[in-house]
């Protein structure tokens, strides 16, 4: 493991431990009270703030805001994973492993590990790979219209809180 990988891993583990402590019996009452549902507004707001950070970087060359907002978005991921771990659903490691495996599957031209369809034919197109991954789970797409509508509502509320019209 390279030194930068070690430092990155240590930093993520530190954040995970901080969130676990905040959620512990002797932690913060606000953090202990949070649920996946209650954190939805913060999640969408932090994602929007990352977009602002990207625009600041593009326009000014200054990366400080983007670094901060990416940290806030990472906190959302770690927090949701902590909640899921407490619920016995999955862990932060599971989240990282799932997305790593997905990136390898969806980039066979880079990793040379093509996904195979039910007939053993290698899948090389992103859309084919995604369709194979989602086989039997197509119903999940039915939740997206409501999720986008909810995101719009949450963004509107965040704008009002921030004094943006």
Condensed to tens digits (0 to 9), the pLDDT of residues 3-52 reads: 888 889 999 999 999 999 999 999 999 999 999 999 999 999 999 999 99
Res 74 pLDDT > 90: yes
**Whole-angstrom Cα Rg for the chain:** 19
**What's the pLDDT band for 115 if we cut at 50, 70, 90?**
confident
Taking residue 80's Cβ as centre, other Cβ atoms within 10 Å add up to 20
Res 1 pLDDT > 90: no
CB 56 within 8 A of CB 46: no
CA dihedral 66, 37, 82, 131 (to 10 degrees): -80
CB 90 within 8 A of CB 107: no
Condensed to tens digits (0 to 9), the pLDDT of residues 83-96 reads: 999 999 999 999 99
């Amino acid at each position: 493991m390279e030194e930068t990988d070690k430092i990155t891993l240590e930093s993520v583990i530190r954040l995970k431990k901080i969130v676990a402590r905040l959620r512990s019996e002797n932690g913060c009452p606000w953090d202990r009270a949070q649920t996946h549902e209650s954190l939805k507004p913060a999640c969408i707001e932090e994602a929007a703030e990352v977009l602002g950070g990207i625009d600041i970087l593009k326009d000014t060359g200054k990366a400080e805001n983007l670094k901060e907002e990416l940290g806030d978005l990472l906190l959302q991921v770690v927090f949701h994973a902590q909640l899921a771990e407490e619920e016995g659903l999955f862990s932060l490691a599971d989240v990282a492993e799932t997305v790593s495996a997905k990136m390898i599957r969806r980039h066979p031209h880079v990793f040379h590990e093509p996904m195979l369809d039910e007939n053993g034919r290698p899948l090389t197109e992103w859309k084919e790979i995604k369709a194979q991954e989602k086989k039997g789970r197509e119903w999940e797409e039915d939740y997206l219209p409501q999720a986008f509508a909810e995101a719009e509502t949450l963004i509107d509320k965040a704008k009002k809180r921030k004094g943006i019209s």
